[in-house]
Amino acid sequence: MVDISVIIPTHNRAAMLRSLLGKLDAQRDGTPAFEVLVVADGCEDDTSTMLSSLRTRVPLRTLSLPGVGPALARNAGSQVASGRLLIFLDDDIEPGENFVRAHVVEHQRHPGGVVMGPYPPLPHIAKDRFRLSARAWWTRHFERVSRPGHQFAFTDVLTGNLSLEAELFHAMGGLDPQFARAREDFEFGLRLIKKGVPIRFAPDALGYHLEHQTATLTGKMVRRHQEGRSDALMARKHPDIQRLLEIHRFAGKKGRKKRLQRAMATRAGSVLDPLVKAGPRLLQMLEKAGLRRLYEKVERQLNGYHYLRGAAEVLGEDWRLPTDPTASTDEIDVLEINLDQGLEAAEAMLAERRPLAARIANGTVPVGDMCHQIGAEPWDARHLRPWLNRQAIHGYLPVALAEWQGQPINVPPQLSDFTLNTLNNPSFHTHMIEQHVQWMQAKLRSALYDNTSRS
C-alpha cells in the first residue's frame, strides 16, 4: 500500500510508454513512495509484452481494458489504485525528475483541491503550419494558466497532468462516461468549479509533451468530430455555460448560412464524408505550394465540418439546445470590499466568502470590479494582489503615455496606495526559456547538418 498512485491510460504507444516509465523510475531522491498503474486500453501493439518484461524500482501494476477511451480508463484506474492521492498522466508526456514530489508538495501546502502541472511541447524542429500552430497553442495555454492569481475556468482543466485526492475524485463521480474521448476534462473541471473546489498550478510538476510524435492532421479532424459531439452533450448537461461553447453559434440560430451548414452536417454528411477525408492531403499540397491564405480558409472549413458532424450525432436535425436557466435570473450578489482595513483583511474576506463578483474600493476611491466570469472559479484571496497589480498597470499606462507625449498628467488616486510589483512565475518561465533555447539549438544543428551535406 502506498499513498500516491500515478495512473497512465495508454493505447498502442509501447515505445513512448517505456520511456515515460523510465522517467518515473528515475525521480529524484527524496520523492515520496508511489506506485504506477498503467491502464492498457485496447492495445494491439507490444504494450503488454513490454510491461510484463519491464523491471522497475517503482511498483508497477497494469490493468487491461477493451478500448473504452481515456475517460473510462482513468475511472477504472482510480477504482483499483492504492494511493490516497491520484496523479493522472497522459502516455505522451515525459515527466521531469521532480514531477511526483511537486504534486505532493502542492497538496501538502493546500490540501483538498486539484493541482495541475504544465506539459508544454518537447523542443523540436517544426516547419509545417499544423505543427507550429499546435506547439503555439500548448505553449500559450500553460503560459497563461501559470500567471500568479490566474482565475481558472473549466476550459483550463486538463487531465494530462493533474492530481487530486482519491476521495474527492470518487465523491465527484469521476469522469462522465458520456465524454469518453473528448472534453471529459472540461466537463469534470466545470463540476469542480461548481462545487467550489480550489484549482492550483504547480510549475515544478513539469512534463514535456511529445505532441509532435502523436498529433497529426488526420487525428485533428477526428478530434474535432469528437469535440463537436461532446460540446452538444455539454450544452445539454450544463445549459448555463452553453453560450461559451462553439456549438452555440450554430444550434437554434436562424439564417441561410447557418441552415446550410447544419443541413450539410446532418443530411449531406454521408455523401460528403469520402471527399472530406482527402482534406489533410489537400492541406499538405496547399502548404507545399505556399498558398497560405487558401490553406487557412480550407483548414477552417474542414475543422468546422468535422465539428458539426460530431454535433449532429447528438442533436439530429432539430439542432435545438435547452434554455439557459441563468438567462432570466436576477443579477448575482456583488461583495463590497474596502481596502482601508488593509490587504490582509480584504484577502481574508475573499477567502471566507468566495464571491462570484466583488467591487473593490480604497476609502472613497473606487478601484474596480472583480467581475463574474461564467464557467470560472469564484474569487479567492490568492487572486486579489495580482488583480490589483493589473488594475494599477492599466491605470499607469495612460499616465506614462501622456508623460511621453508631453501632456498634462493626472495620476489616478489609487496608484499612490499600491506598489507596482512585477509578478511572475520564475520556475515555469525558466522552463519556457530553456525550451526556446533548445529549439534554437536544434534549428542551428539542422542548418549545420544541411550545409555539411551539401558540401
Higher pLDDT, 233 or 257: 233
Higher pLDDT, 227 or 397: 227
CATH code that applies to domain 4-214: 3.90.550.10
How do residues 94-128 score in pLDDT, each as one tens digit? 999 999 999 999 999 999 999 999 999 988 877 78
How do residues 148-181 score in pLDDT, each as one tens digit? 899 999 999 999 999 999 999 999 999 999 998 8
Which stretch of 68-77, 150-159, 342-351, 445-454 has the lowest confidence by average pLDDT?
Answer: 445-454
Q: Where exactly are the structural domains of the chain? A: 4-214, 219-315, 335-417
Q: What cell numbers appear for 389 in the block?
A: 497589480
The Cα-based distances of 284 to 239, 279, 296, 305, 322 in angstroms read: 38, 9, 12, 18, 40
The Cα-based distances of 12 to 9, 68, 116 in angstroms read: 10, 13, 25
Which stretch of 24-38, 187-201, 257-271, 305-319 has the lowest confidence by average pLDDT?
Answer: 257-271
Q: How far apart are CA 102 and CA 123, in angstroms?
A: 22
Q: What are phi and psi of 63, to 5 degrees?
A: -140, 130
The pTM assigned to this predicted structure is 0.86
Q: How far apart are CA 189 and CA 141, in angstroms?
A: 16
Asked whether the predicted pLDDT for residue 224 surpasses 70, the reply is yes
Q: What is the pLDDT of residue 413?
A: 43
Question: What residues contact 154, with CB distance under 8 A and at least 6 apart?
Answer: 186, 187, 189, 190, 192, 193, 241, 375, 376
Q: What is the pLDDT of residue 418?
A: 38
**Residue listed under C-alpha cell 448560412:** 257
- CB neighbourhood size of 203 (10 A): 21
Q: How far apart are CA 404 and CA 451, in angstroms?
A: 48
Q: What is the pLDDT of residue 424?
A: 40
| Average pLDDT along the chain | 86
DSSP labels for 299-310?
HHHHHHHHHHHH
Asked whether the predicted pLDDT for residue 256 surpasses 50, the reply is yes
Task: Give the three-state DSSP class for 217.
Answer: helix
Q: How far apart are CA 57 and CA 35, in angstroms?
A: 10
**Which helix or strand (DSSP H or E) is residue 161 part of?**
strand 161-165
Q: Which of 309, 304, 302 is nearest to 249 (CA)?
A: 304
Which stretch of 16-25, 126-135, 273-282 has the lowest confidence by average pLDDT?
Answer: 126-135
- Grade residue 303 by pLDDT with cuts at 50, 70 and 90: very high
Q: What cell numbers appear for 222 in the block?
A: 477526428
Asked whether the predicted pLDDT for residue 407 surpasses 60, the reply is no
Asked whether the predicted pLDDT for residue 271 surpasses 90, the reply is no
Contact 88, 52 (CB under 8 A): no
Asked whether the predicted pLDDT for residue 65 surpasses 90, the reply is yes
Higher pLDDT, 33 or 129: 33
